[in-house]
């Protein structure tokens, strides 16, 4: 079977361990022909390029800056203009390929044209991996409004969203709350096409022994005797970085230390906080290679997830899986609409509090720092990962729809 995967994310090496690369390798390893279509953003300074590597066909199309845009106008123009660029790429490089399955993820919601083109041309099945609910997330964070000039922009993207759902034969949602939200907001949607297909990865145990933890902590000058809470990943508006800073300012317990690793549009706020306040219990790192990052996560004690309390859409951050691989219990500090905290608590591998009260955060982290069951909770996290987020299960679920159609 020929499978086309489209994304605006970075897709350089199929052997990388990300939720999408892991899924595509799973298809490849079962004997399917995998084709990827992704952008080379302007900031990369690269031209359109097509190559065959590690038994996967990879097409990178030159495009504007989407993930690395300097402002919302540049991002908006690049997001809208990527669709004709993708269609042009398909026509030029994949004209002699008949696709059986088209896979794509959100963001963005603006690939309807290219999906419709390939679907009609090849009579292909289409599957949406719903990772982001836009434009409502932008409304939640105050970036868009439903009235006035911004309301026109909202309605434009809302129509794009509806069109994307309509062209999708199947929609895989990250969680039950995610799926229920889609039903509530889109009552005309065919219920039978929507299912839970969560963020999934190739399950690898990335926990490390005590001696290795000590070596890594010494290398990066992290305290040996303290409970280290780690946040790794994007630092943008969805993460509520201002609230995170308030939590770090307020939590001064002697036994707790906070390690923040990541980048994003709000990174500068954290950088200013660390430079001006000079907190003794916080370490900020912008970038380290993936292998070192994995080892550093394993050298910590508790993984953290942060989401802005204004969200009405149920997000389910994929960084959760990295903590679970390292056998870390997880602290989720989120809005009340996501069910990620409920999953963590009910699964017995972590804690949750709402992201609107720093006092709640301080009380909970005080409790966690003294908790004796952290190691057992970390072991349960890895077991839960194996049972619920193994990429092989996601692969089987997606392929089952193609088998039914045959």
Q: Do residues 234 and 107 both lie within one domain?
A: no
Tallying the residues shown for the chain, one arrives at 406
CA gap 24, 9 in Å, rounded: 14
pLDDT in tens, 134-155: 989 989 888 889 988 888 988 9
314/379 same-domain check: yes
77 and 191 belong to one structural domain: yes
CATH classification at residue 79 = 3.40.50.2000
* Total-model pTM: 0.92
Q: Give the H or E element holding residue 87.
A: helix 72-93
Mean per-residue pLDDT of the chain? 92
Burial per residue of 260-294, b for 16 or more beta-carbon CB atoms within 10 angstroms, e otherwise:
bbbebebbeebeebbeeeebebbbbeeeeeeeebb
Output the CA–CA distances (angstroms, integers) from residue 114 to 89, 109, 388, in the order listed.
10, 11, 32
Residue 384 sits in the same domain as residue 366: yes
Residues 226 and 162 reside in one and the same domain? no
Claim to verify: residue 109 and residue 245 sit in the same structural domain: no
Work out whether the CA dihedral 259, 264, 266, 270 comes out positive or negative. positive
| Domain with 108 in it | 2-202+390-405
How many domains does the chain contain in total? 2
45 torsion bin: left (phi>0), alpha (psi -120 to 50), beta (else):
left
Separation of alpha carbons 353 and 336, rounded Å: 9
Q: Are residues 224 and 181 in the same domain?
A: no
Give which of 123, 86, 110, 92 is closest to 5, Cα–Cα: 86
With a CB cutoff of 8 Å and minimum separation 6, the contacts of 269 are 241, 242, 245
Residues 185 and 235 in one domain: no
Q: Which of 386, 376, 261 is nearest to 329 (CA)?
A: 376
**Pair (108, 250) in one structural domain:** no
DSSP 239: G
The answer to whether the CB of 230 falls within 8 A of the CB of 303 is yes
- The pairing of beta strand 227-234 with beta strand 302-306: parallel
Q: What burial letters (b/e) apply to 308-346, b meaning 16+ CB within 10 Å?
A: bbbbebbbbbbbbbbbbbbbbbbbbbbbebbbbbbbbee
Tell me: do 165 and 232 sit in the same domain: no
95 and 242 housed in the same domain? no
- Per-residue model confidence (pLDDT) at position 77: 75
Q: 199: number of CA atoms within 13 Å, CB side?
A: 17
What's the pLDDT at 43? 75
How many CB atoms sit inside 10 A of residue 250's CB? 13
Query: In order along the chain (406 residues), what is the average pLDDT of each group of 10 residues?
Result: 92 91 96 93 81 95 70 71 89 96 89 94 96 90 88 90 94 95 93 95 94 94 95 92 95 92 92 94 89 92 96 95 97 96 97 95 95 94 98 95 68
Same domain, 248 and 303: yes
Separation of first and last alpha carbons in the chain: 12
**Residue range 60-117, pLDDT digits in tens:** 988 776 766 556 667 767 777 788 889 999 999 999 999 999 999 988 788 899 999 9
């Amino acid at each position: 079977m020929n499978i086309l995967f489209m994304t605006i994310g970075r897709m350089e090496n199929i052997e990388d361990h990300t939720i999408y690369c892991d899924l595509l390798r799973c298809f490849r390893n079962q004997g399917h022909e995998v084709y990827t279509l992704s952008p080379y953003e302007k900031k990369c300074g690269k031209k359109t390029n097509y190559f065959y590597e590690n038994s996967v066909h990879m097409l990178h199309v030159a495009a504007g800056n989407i993930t690395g845009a300097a402002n919302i106008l540049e991002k908006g123009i690049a997001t809208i203009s990527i669709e004709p660029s993708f269609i042009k790429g398909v026509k030029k490089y994949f004209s002699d390929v008949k696709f059986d399955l088209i896979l794509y993820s959100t963001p963005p919601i603006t690939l309807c044209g290219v999906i419709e083109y390939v679907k009609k041309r090849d009579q292909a099945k289409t599957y949406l991996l719903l990772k982001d609910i836009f434009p409502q997330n932008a409304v939640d964070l105050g970036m868009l409004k439903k009235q006035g000039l911004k309301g026109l922009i909202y309605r434009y993207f809302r129509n794009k969203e509806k069109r994307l759902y309509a062209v999708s034969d199947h929609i895989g949602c990250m969680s039950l709350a995610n799926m229920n939200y889609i039903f509530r907001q889109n009552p005309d949607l065919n219920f039978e096409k929507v299912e839970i297909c969560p963020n999934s990865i190739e399950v690898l145990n990335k926990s490390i022994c005590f001696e290795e933890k000590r070596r890594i902590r010494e290398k990066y000058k992290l305290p040996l005797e303290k409970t280290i809470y780690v946040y790794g990943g994007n630092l943008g508006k969805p993460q509520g970085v201002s609230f995170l800073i308030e939590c770090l300012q307020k939590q001064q317990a002697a036994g707790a230390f906070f390690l923040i690793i990541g980048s994003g549009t709000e990174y500068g706020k954290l950088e200013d906080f660390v430079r001006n306040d000079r907190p003794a219990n916080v370490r900020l790192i912008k970038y380290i290679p993936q292998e070192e990052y994995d080892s550093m996560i394993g050298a910590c004690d508790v993984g953290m997830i942060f989401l802005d309390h204004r969200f009405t859409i149920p997000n389910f951050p994929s960084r959760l899986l990295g903590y679970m691989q390292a056998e870390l219990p997880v602290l989720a500090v989120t809005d009340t609409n996501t069910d990620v905290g409920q999953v963590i608590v009910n699964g017995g591998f972590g804690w949750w509090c709402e992201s609107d009260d720093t006092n709640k955060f301080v009380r909970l982290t005080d409790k966690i720092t003294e908790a004796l069951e952290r190691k057992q909770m970390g072991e349960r996290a890895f077991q839960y990962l194996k049972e619920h987020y193994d990429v092989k299960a996601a692969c089987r679920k997606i392929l089952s729809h193609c088998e039914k159609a045959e």
